[in-house]
Amino acid sequence: MSVGDSATPLGKVRGLGSAREGGEHWLGERVASAALLLLGSWLAASLLLLPSLDHQTLVEWLRAPSGAVPMALFIIVAFTHALDGMKVVVDDYVHDEGNRFALNLVLLFLAVGGAALALFALARIAFGAQA
Amino acid sequence: MAATTSQPKPRPLSPHLTVWKWGPHMLVSILHRVTGGALSVAGLAILVWWLTAIADGADAYAEFIKLAAHPVGMVVLVGLTWAFFQHLLSGVRHLAMDSGAGFELGTNKRFAILTIVVALILTALVWFPVLGGKL
């Protein structure tokens, strides 16, 4: 306990706790959720503040760096946070180790695939010919 | 050393869901999980669909809007908007509680109720103007 006793509470969860690991993952989930708090608020505010939600307006919005960059970050962080959350649900409710591993693998593939599809669509809009 | 053949006494179970009286904090806790699941599955699927429709051009986007403006589409979008705000607010509550704050019974209950009320108000604020003709 000597290391734990001399460490700060934050030091303990940063890999110095009794499990020696897991603290970074726990913190990473919170970092992603804090980032998504900002990016999600940005998306909600943008959709509300855009003069219209017609095709032309949305394309112009997502072609500008001020729209495309936060949207790319939102896609990455939203899928990361969704995967974090769904993994917790699977780990809580799926007790068979094989099923749990398989489901977590499926979730990982879906999250990466979904994020890739969304980013590709965004790239087509941002760099696309049609406006 | 005679082997005992009698059944072992059933082990005591820890208190389970059914013994608790439901309170706002329990409701918010389960709502956080349910809304998170809905946003992860339906929310992100619609995000991909929406971006793809915009990328595919004006015709594909018009098709998307037609489905979104359908009563069923509206119910899904209003539901997801509520899920977004509920999850965001209870998420902020969780981040605060992760710092060790807000565990006093009164405070905890008050903020739990607050997330529910504010999420409903924000959802209404978003959708009243939208239903008034923005889509």
**Tens digits of residue pLDDT in B10-51:** 887 777 767 778 889 999 999 999 999 999 999 999 999 999
Phi-psi region of B101 (alpha: psi -120 to 50; beta: other; left: phi over 0): beta
A81 burial type by CB count under 10 A (0-12 exposed, 13-18 middle, 19+ buried)? buried
Domains and CATH numbers, chain B: 24-130 (1.20.1300.10)
Q: How far apart are CA B55 and CA B61, in angstroms?
A: 8
**How many contacts, defined by CB atoms under 8 Å, are there between A and B?**
69
How far does Cα B103 stand from its chain's mean position?
21
Q: Does B91 touch chain A (CB under 8 A)?
A: yes
User: Would the CB atoms of B55 and A122 count as touching at under 8 Å?
Assistant: yes
pLDDT of residue B18: 72
Sort out which chain B residues have CB atoms less than 8 A from A89's CB and list them: 33, 36-37
Chain segment B111-121, per-residue pLDDT in tens = 999 999 999 99
Closest CB to B95: pick one of A34, A59, A118: A34
Q: What is the model's pLDDT at position A130?
A: 52
pLDDT of A7 > 70? The answer is no
Q: Closest residue of A to B65, CA-based?
A: A54
% residues pLDDT > 90 (chain B): 72
Residue B91: list chain A partners with CB under 8 A: 33, 37
User: Does the structure show a pLDDT above 90 at A46?
Assistant: yes
* Cβ-proximal residues to B127 (8 Å cutoff; 6+ apart), any chain: B78, B81
* Complex-level ipTM: 0.86
